[in-house]
Structure 1
């Protein structure tokens, strides 16, 4: 079997989608499935990760050639808003485009049951839930970087942290205001800032954040973020899955999350602390104060690490082989 595993805009897209594609290709390597990263219909399966215009062009012609099309449903109108400048304006017209584009596929891959529910409101195309997975090898040896990264960013334990692009949708305002309410606790958001791409409100939140709230910008070794952090504070309002959350769990870090549908699989008080879906800053302050207890952090972190094993690339990979065999 040969797969055309195409990632349109590969040189420009970063963040979780890029990580997911890297994970998929590692899984195909482990499965021994031959693939090319070039778009071609000289393959048994055309698999695209972003249904941009070029991917759609190939998908439409694949139907005529009898080549099955698999597409990952990374993007929804629901999670597109409150990301970068102009994304709110684009979110509404994005939905009808995605309905058309996803309708070109023979099978859609959804990273979570929540995402599948959203996608099934778009199109009547068979869906399969396959987690983005977590690359445990990428995090190997992270513990050794603790002192280096805490010294680099002047952080003192217990550190409340987040990893990923700094965008409003991920709960930026809650993160900043929680830090403001807890001036004796260090908060750090590890990830690209891209201020030129941010709206005025997002830029103001970053620039006017309190002294105990650090925005590191791009981190050369992401393992350092998980080494420096103690509590993963993820007040996102919308998420398809959340690779950074899976990585934090793999590193044994307890998380504070909202009780929203994407995180329904997490058990409050076992692997994480949950706040109400519409919780304000008070709830996050209370959760962080609870996790000042090192014994609670250790217990939740150990449970999180154990739970994360079901998302390892080895555990997920076989689902791609099954899907390809099914569509072929």
Structure 2
């Protein structure tokens, strides 16, 4: 069996989508799936990771030629907004475009049950949920970098951290405001800022962050982030799955997350601490902003994790839960899916 595994705009797209494509190809190698990274109909299956215009063109040709089409649903209009400049304006026309594009697939691969529920509002094409997975090999030896990265960014434990592109949708405002409320705790966001691609509000939040809130920009070895961080704070408003979250779990880090549907599979108080938005649950804050951010709830959750034993307890359970998302655990699902289509 040969798969045409195409990633349009591969030279420009970074972050979680690029990591997912890398994970897929590592899984192919594990289970012996032959693949090419070029778009071609000289294959048993055409698997498209980003439904740009070239991918759509090949999908239409493949359907006429009788070649099964698989498309990953990494992109939705819901998670496109509040990312980079102009993405809010593009989110509305993106939805009808994606409806047509995803409708060309014989099978859609969704990274989570939440993503599948969103995609069901786009098309009735058959869906299969396959996690993006976590590459444990990528984290190997991360502990040895703790002293180096704490010293580089002047971080004292317990350090609250985040990993990924600095974008507003991922809860940037909440992260910065929580740092304001906790001046004795170090907060650090590891990941590219790309100021030329950011809107005015994002740049303002970064520039006006308190002294205890550091934005590192691109880091040459992402293992250093998981070595220097003690509490993974992920206040994202919208997420298809969250590879950085899976990595933090695999590294045994306790999680503080926003209580959104994407993370419904995580058990609050057992594998993470969840914070509801303003008006939701015990953490509701009277002074939350108009968007519903419950900053006080994040402060309370992080306060609870000043206790090293509690951090270790939550981190150990998160690490155990992450084993089901390892590349080895899910690799065979691709081979089975392709075999079913062929």
Into which bin does the TM-score normalised by the smaller protein fall? over 0.9
Q: Secondary structure at the match of 1:35?
A: strand
Aligned residues: 328
Aligned to 1:268: 268
CA distance in 2, matches of 1:282, 1:34: 51
Per the alignment, residue 4 of structure 2 pairs with 4
Show the counterpart of 2:118.
118
Partner residue in 2 for 1:280: 294
Residue aligning to 1:323: 337
Q: How does 1:4-153 map to 2 (within 5 A)?
A: 4-153=4-153
Matched residue of 1:227: which SS?
A: helix
**Partner residue of 2:304?**
290
Counterpart CA distance in 2 for 1:124 and 1:280 is 36
Cα-to-partner distance string for 1:242-270 (whole Å, 9 max, x where unaligned): 00000000000001001110000000111
Q: Is the 8 A contact 1:158 1:231 kept in 2?
A: yes
On the 8 A contact 2:226/2:248 being kept in 1, the answer is: yes
**1:205 counterpart = 2:219:** no
Distance 1:155 1:70 in 2: 45
Partner secondary structure for residue 325 of structure 1: helix
Unmatched segments (≥5 aa) in structure 2: 278-291
Match of 2:320 among 306, 311, 317: 306
Q: Distance in 2 between matches of 1:217 and 1:279?
A: 25
How large is the RMSD of aligned CA atoms in angstroms? 0.6
Contact in 2 for aligned 1:258/1:279 (Cα 8 Å): no
Mapped to 1, the partners of 2:78 and 2:2 lie a distance apart of: 33
Gaps of 5+ in 1: none
d(CA) in 2 for partners of 1:113, 1:322: 19
Question: 1:126 deviation in Å?
Answer: 0.3
Instruction: Using the TM superposition, give the Cα deviation of residue 279 of structure 1 relative to its aligned residue in structure 2, in angstroms.
Output: 4.4
Q: Is the 8 A contact 1:171 1:235 kept in 2?
A: yes
1:252 corresponding residue in structure 2: 252
- Asked whether the 8 Å contact 2:179–2:213 carries over to 1, the reply is yes
Are the aligned partners of 2:174 and 2:293 in contact in 1 as well (CA < 8 Å)? no
Normalising by structure 2, what TM-score? Answer: 0.95
User: Which SS does the other structure have where 2:47 is aligned?
Assistant: strand
Deviations 1:191-238 (A, max 9, x none): 000011100000000000000000000010000000000000000000
Q: Which runs of 4+ in 1 moved over 2 A?
A: none
Aligned residue in 2 for 1:235:
235
Question: Deviation at 1:102?
Answer: 0.2
Deviation, structure 1 residue 310 = 0.2
Give the distance between the partners of 2:259 and 2:212, measured in 1 at CA.
Answer: 26
SS at 2:38's partner residue? coil
Q: Secondary structure at the match of 1:178?
A: helix
